[in-house]
Structure 1
Amino acid sequence: MAGASALLLAATGGAAYAQVTGSSVTQAQLASQTRTATPIKHVVVIFDENISFDHYFGTYPHATNENGTPFRAKWDTPRVNGLSSSLLNHNPNLYNPKRLSPSQAMTCDQNHNYKNEQQAYNGGKADQFVQHTETDKCTGQPILFGEPGLVMDYYDGNTVTGLWNYAQNYAMSDNSFNSVYGPSSPGAVNLISGQTHGIYAVDSVTGAKVSDAYTVQSPDANGVGTMTNDPDPAFDNCSDSNHTSKNALGVMTGPNVGDLLNKKKVSWGWFQGGFRPTGTANGYSVCGATHTNVGGNSVVDYSAHHEPFQYYQSTSNPQHLPPSSVAAIGSTDQANHQYDLSDFDQAVASRHLPAVSFLKAGEYQDGHAGYSDPLDEQAFVVREINQLQKSPDWKSTAVVVAYDDSDGWYDHVTPPLVNGSKDPNLDQAACQGKPVGNDQQDRCGYGPRTPLLVISPYSRTNAVDHRLTDQTSILKFVEDNWNVGRVGGGSYDAKATSLAANWGGMFNFYQWPNTRPLILDPKTGAVVRH
C-alpha cells in the first residue's frame, strides 16, 4: 500500500503549499512545495531554431549507418508519419529528398517567410517547396553546403543521434505544428503568449511610434497590427546594433505567460546565450560575445529577436542586468526574469532551478541553418539535459524540446487550418476558409510541422504522440500545471491541446517515475550511461 499511496500522491501533484521557512530555502524547494496539477514541479523548455519534422525525423527510426554515429532502433519502436518510399523516390516536388551526411551539417538557410511557406504547401499539395522556400546557393561562410533540391533534404540518426536517442527512451510527437506560418519572432511570441497580434513599431533611437510595414502587418486605426517578420524588440539595448540604425523596433501589447506566472508568484526565467553584456556603447549595452561553430566560423551569440519577453515592457530587462544573486534567479529583481545561459547553469548547480525555464542557445548552437547546425545544436541540448538529469530536481522535471519555425525545410504534412486570415497581400486561398478571431489578420495557422519531444521521468517510453498539438500546447501545459489562467484576447492557448493529456499523449502520470538518467555524449549523441 505504501507504493500505491506514493504513486497517488505523485499523480495528484503532491502536498499543498507546505510551510517552508529559513534562509537556506532554494527556488527548487519552493517550487516543489507549490501545488501543481501534475507531479511536474519544473518545466524546462529548450527552444531551438528552424527545423521541420521531416528534416530531422523523416526516416525515423531507420538510419543508413553509412557514416556518422551508428544508430540502431529498438525492435518495438513505433512508426511515425514520415517519408514513405513513395515520397522518397517519387516526390511531387521538383527533387526527391536526399539524406544529408554529418559532413554536410552546415547548410544554406532556407526561405521561411510567412507568405512563402504558405505558397510551398500549394493548397495542400505540398509540392512547391523548391520554387518558394529553397535557397540552394549561399555565401559568407566558407563551408556551407548547398545544391539544387537542398530544401527537400533531411538528416537521420547518424547525425541527429542525440534527438533520436531521446525519442527512443522518452516521448515525441509527429503531429505538432508551428502556431502560425513565418519566421523566428512569431514562433517565439506564440510560445509565451499564443498571440502575434498587438504589435506596433517605434523608432529605434527616439522611441517614438512610427509606421513600419515590416514590423506591423494589417495595422488598425491606432497603428497596432500583427507580427509576421523578425523586428528586433524595443525593450532591449542590444537590439538593432545597439539602437544605431533606422530600423523600427517592435512593441508587443497584452499579457504573456510571464505576467501570469508573476501574479501567482511562480518562479520563472528566460535564459539565452550571449545575454550578458560585453560592454557599452553610446549608453547602450553591447552583446558582443562570440563562439565558433563546427565549420570554424565565428558567430555572435545573442540575437535580440529570439528573445520574446523583450518585446513586452512588463517582462523586459533592457540593460541586460544580472540577477542580484544566484538565490534570486527566478524571482522578480533587477534582472526581471531575463538571464544569460550561465545563470541557468548556476541555478541548477545550486538548486535554485525555477519552476518554469526557457532556454535559448547562443546562435552557433541553436540549430539555425546558415550559422548553426545539428552537431552544434546537439552539443547544447545534450549538455543541458545531462546536467538536469544529474540534479536532485530531476525527479520532478520535464524537459520540452521544441522549435520556433521550420526554416522552410520540406515537410510533407500540410498544416491543418485552425485559424484563418484574409490578407490579400500575404495569405493564400487555403488560409481563407475560416475567419480570424476578433478580426485579427495575418495569423493563419497552423504553420509547418516541427519536432517536439518531452524528456522526463514521467514521459511515456519510446512513444509517439499522434494528437494534434502546436507551440501553444507548451504554453497551455504551463498555464494548467500552475493554474495561472489563460492569456486571453484571441490567444491560441484557448484552442490548444495540452501536453499533459493522458492516454496516448506524451506523459504517463500514473506510472512509477523513471528517474534513471540517460546520459549522452554531447559530441556524438551516443548513449554513455543508462
Structure 2
Amino acid sequence: MSPPLSHIFVLMLENRSFDHMLGFSGIVGTDAVTGRRRPINGLTGSEANQYQGQTYKVNHPADAVMAADPGHEFTDTVEQLCGPTATYPPGGNYPAINNSGFVNDYASHTRTGAGAIMKCFAPDQLPVLTMLASTYAVCDSWFASIPGPTFPNRFFACGASSGGLDHSPSTAEILTWETFAGFQLPHGSIFDAMGAKFGSGWRIYAGDNFPMATALKNVHHANVINYSSFANDVANANYTWHYTWIEPNYGDVAGGTYRGGNSQHPLDGVTAGEALIKSTYEAIRKSPHWATSLLIVTWDEHGGFYDHVIPPRAVPPGDTQPGSKYNRYGFTFGQYGVRVPAVIVSPLIPPNTVDGRLYDHASIPATVEAAFGLKPLTARDAAANTLLPLLSLTQPRDTPKRLPTPVALEARRIRRIVPRLTETVDKGNLPGVLLAAARLDQSISPPAESRAILARVQSIQTREDARQYMDEVNRKAEAEKSKERARLRLLRRKPRKRTTKKKSSR
C-alpha cells in the first residue's frame, strides 16, 4: 500500500488541446490498466479538416505565437466539434461530433493562415512537458469539463460545477449577479470543503494580483500568495496546506494581448509556461513533502486548437437546470469539451505510465475528496475517476531532480490581430478578471469606499478603462504589500524584553 498523501498541488495553464501539445510527442509507455506497452493516443499525420475545398492536415512544428486568438467560446466549440452548420438546441442533446470545424472557425478569427490551428508542437519545442509526461503519468483521455471557455472550465476544476455558467460572462452580468460577493457555486467549492474540514487546509499561489479563482465566493485575496514565494514556502517542513492551487501570470488581459505572462495563452507563447512548470516541479521535488505529494499539471480548455478524439457524453452536475441565471445557451452539461493535456506527477507513480481512463476537471476535486475524506460536491465529481490508483508503488522511486531548460521559440513575423483598446470590455476572460480586481480593491480599501468601487467598475466600458482601473488596483495592492513587509521587518527588529531571574536567598 502506498503511503497516504499529505499534499496535492494543481497547476492549471491556458488554452491548449492534447494533440496540439503532445499529439506528435511519440511517447510510448505502460498502460495504467492493462500493464501493456502502448503509444499515447496521438496523431498519425493524416488527421485533417476541409475548408473552402482545401485539405488542412495536422503538422509540426507549431508556431511560437498565434496571429489571432482562436475562438473557444461555446458557439465556437460547437462549430469546431460538429461542423460549420451545426447549432446547439437549448436544453437538448449536443449535435453529432466529427471534429471537422476547427479550420473553418479559426478562419472567422484571422485574416490569413487558417490552417495554423492544425499545427502541433514537436517534442523538441516542449522539452519540459515532454520529459514530465514520459517520466511520470500522461492522461490521454482527459477532457475539458464543458465544450466552452475558460471560466466555466476553471470553476469545474474548483467545484465540479460551473453553477450553470456556459459562457464567458459580461461585466454587467457579473455585477448584477454577485456584486463583490464572488460567484456562488450551489454546493460550494473544494476550497470550502477543505476549509470546513481542516480550517486552513488550502492555499492559492498566483503569478499576478488577479487569479481567476478569486472570482469564487469565499476565496479571498488574503488566501492568495504571490508565486515568487512558492519554492521557499514549500521547502518548509511545516507547510501545512494540504491542497495548493497554482495560477499563472496571465499577462496583459486588459489589452487582450496576454503578453508578459506565463499562462501559455496562444497570443503569448509557451516558453514562459514551460519555465513555470519546471520551477513548480523542482520546488516540490526538492521539498521535504515530495515523497507524499501529488502534482497535477493541466490546461483549462483547448483554446480552439484541433484535437482528433471525439469527446464523450458527460454526467451533468445536477445542481442547476437549463435556463438558470448563468445559463445563456441552455446547456445541459451532458457533454465533455475537447481533450486537453494532463500530466500527473508523484514518486509513487511507476515510470512512463500512460493512463487512458476517462477524466475531466472534476477529477481534481474528486481526487482531493478521496485523499482527504470529503464528500462529493456534485454528481459530476461523484462519478469522476480519481487519480489515486496511479499511485501504485509502496515506496517512492528515484526521480529526476531537474527538468530540461525551456526552449526559446522564435516567433514568425506575422501581422497579429489583437483587440483595440477602444473595444468593449465584455469579451473573453476580462470581465471575470475585473471581478477579481474589484474584490481585491474592496478588500484593501476602507468599507466606506465599497459603493464608489462598485460605481467605478460599473462605469468601465472599454479595454482602456479596464487597463487603467486594473493598473490602479495593482498599485494599491503593491503599496499594501510594502506596508506589510515594513511592519514585519519592524517586528523582527524590535528588541525582546530581557527577563532577569531573581536571586534566591539562602
Under TM normalisation by the shorter chain, which class is it? 0.5 to 0.7
Q: What number of residue pairs does the alignment pair up?
A: 365
Deviation at 1:60, TM superposition (A): 2.0
Within-5 A mapping of 1:453-472: 453-472=343-362
Match of 1:339 among 197, 206, 225: 225
Deviation at 1:345, TM superposition (A): 3.1
Match of 1:113 in 2: 73
Q: Note if contact 1:380-1:522 (Cα within 8 Å) is conserved in structure 2.
A: no
Aligned residue type for 1:43: I
* TM-score scaled by length of structure 1: 0.63
Deviation at 1:469, TM superposition (A): 0.8
Answering whether residue 481 of structure 2 is matched by residue 516 of structure 1, we say no
Q: Note if contact 1:94-1:130 (Cα within 8 Å) is conserved in structure 2.
A: no
CA deviation vs aligned residue, 1:317-366 (integer Å, no higher than 9, x gap): 2xx3xxxxxxxxxxxxxx1x333213423311333432111111112111
Q: Note if contact 1:43-1:398 (Cα within 8 Å) is conserved in structure 2.
A: yes
Match of 2:39 in 1: 79
Distance 1:50 1:438, change over 3 A: closer
Match of 1:269 in 2: 203
Q: Note if contact 2:350-2:393 (Cα within 8 Å) is conserved in structure 1.
A: no
CA–CA distance in structure 2, aligned partners of residues 438 and 51 of structure 1 = 28
Within-5 A mapping of 1:427-506: 439-440=321-322, 441-442=330-331, 443-488=333-378, 490=379, 492-501=380-389
Match of 1:188 among 142, 145, 154: 154
Within-5 A mapping of 1:397-416: 397-416=293-312
CA–CA distance in structure 1, aligned partners of residues 49 and 155 of structure 2 = 37
SS of residue in 2 equivalent to 1:382: helix
CA deviation vs aligned residue, 1:176-228 (integer Å, no higher than 9, x gap): 1011111111111000111112xxxxxxxxxxxxxxxxxxxxxxxxxxx5342
Q: Note if contact 1:113-1:183 (Cα within 8 Å) is conserved in structure 2.
A: yes
CA–CA distance in structure 1, aligned partners of residues 313 and 276 of structure 2 = 34
SS of residue in 2 equivalent to 1:474: helix
Q: Note if contact 1:62-1:156 (Cα within 8 Å) is conserved in structure 2.
A: no
Distance 1:135 1:518, change over 3 A: farther
SS of residue in 2 equivalent to 1:520: coil
Answering whether residue 277 of structure 2 is matched by residue 381 of structure 1, we say yes
Q: Note if contact 2:141-2:355 (Cα within 8 Å) is conserved in structure 1.
A: yes
Match of 1:252 in 2: 184
Q: Which runs of 5+ in 2 are unaligned?
A: 29-35, 83-95, 251-260, 323-329, 409-506
Match of 1:98 in 2: 59
Q: Which runs of 5+ in 1 are unaligned?
A: 1-7, 14-38, 64-75, 139-145, 198-224, 235-239, 276-301, 321-334, 421-434, 502-506, 526-530
Match of 1:357 in 2: 244
Distance 1:152 1:387, change over 3 A: same
CA–CA distance in structure 1, aligned partners of residues 39 and 67 of structure 2 = 28
Aligned residue type for 2:351: T
Match of 2:16 in 1: 51
Deviation at 1:93, TM superposition (A): 8.2
Deviation at 1:149, TM superposition (A): 0.7
Deviation at 1:309, TM superposition (A): 4.0
CA–CA distance in structure 2, aligned partners of residues 89 and 480 of structure 1 = 41
Q: Note if contact 1:51-1:409 (Cα within 8 Å) is conserved in structure 2.
A: yes
Deviation at 1:509, TM superposition (A): 2.5
Deviation at 1:515, TM superposition (A): 4.3
CA–CA distance in structure 2, aligned partners of residues 473 and 409 of structure 1 = 23
User: Once superposed, which parts of structure 1, at least 4 consecutive aligned residues long, lie more than 4 Å away?
Assistant: 88-94, 133-136, 230-234, 247-250, 435-438
Aligned residue type for 1:45: V
Indicate the RMSD between aligned Cα atoms, in angstroms.
Answer: 3.2
Deviation at 1:446, TM superposition (A): 0.7
CA–CA distance in structure 2, aligned partners of residues 383 and 257 of structure 1 = 25
Match of 1:285 in 2: none
Distance 1:523 1:59, change over 3 A: closer
Q: Note if contact 1:233-1:311 (Cα within 8 Å) is conserved in structure 2.
A: no
Deviates more, 1:107-116 or 1:127-136: 127-136
Distance 1:436 1:128, change over 3 A: farther
Distance 1:136 1:98, change over 3 A: farther
Distance 1:227 1:90, change over 3 A: closer
Aligned residue type for 2:321: D
Q: Note if contact 2:191-2:219 (Cα within 8 Å) is conserved in structure 1.
A: no
Identical amino acids, percent of aligned pairs: 23
Answering whether residue 129 of structure 2 is matched by residue 163 of structure 1, we say yes
Match of 2:313 in 1: 417
Q: Note if contact 1:476-1:493 (Cα within 8 Å) is conserved in structure 2.
A: yes
Distance 1:130 1:377, change over 3 A: same
Within-5 A mapping of 1:299-314: 302=210, 307-312=212-217
Q: Note if contact 1:46-1:359 (Cα within 8 Å) is conserved in structure 2.
A: yes
Match of 1:173 in 2: 139
Distance 1:61 1:252, change over 3 A: same
Answering whether residue 234 of structure 2 is matched by residue 348 of structure 1, we say yes
CA–CA distance in structure 1, aligned partners of residues 154 and 347 of structure 2 = 27
Match of 1:316 in 2: 219
Aligned residue type for 2:99: A
Distance 1:49 1:77, change over 3 A: farther
Deviation at 1:264, TM superposition (A): 0.9
Aligned residue type for 1:495: A
Aligned residue type for 1:120: Q
Distance 1:233 1:93, change over 3 A: farther
Match of 2:114 in 1: 148
Q: Note if contact 1:181-1:447 (Cα within 8 Å) is conserved in structure 2.
A: yes
Deviation at 1:262, TM superposition (A): 0.9
Q: Note if contact 1:185-1:308 (Cα within 8 Å) is conserved in structure 2.
A: no
CA–CA distance in structure 1, aligned partners of residues 135 and 172 of structure 2 = 38
Deviates more, 1:225-234 or 1:462-471: 225-234
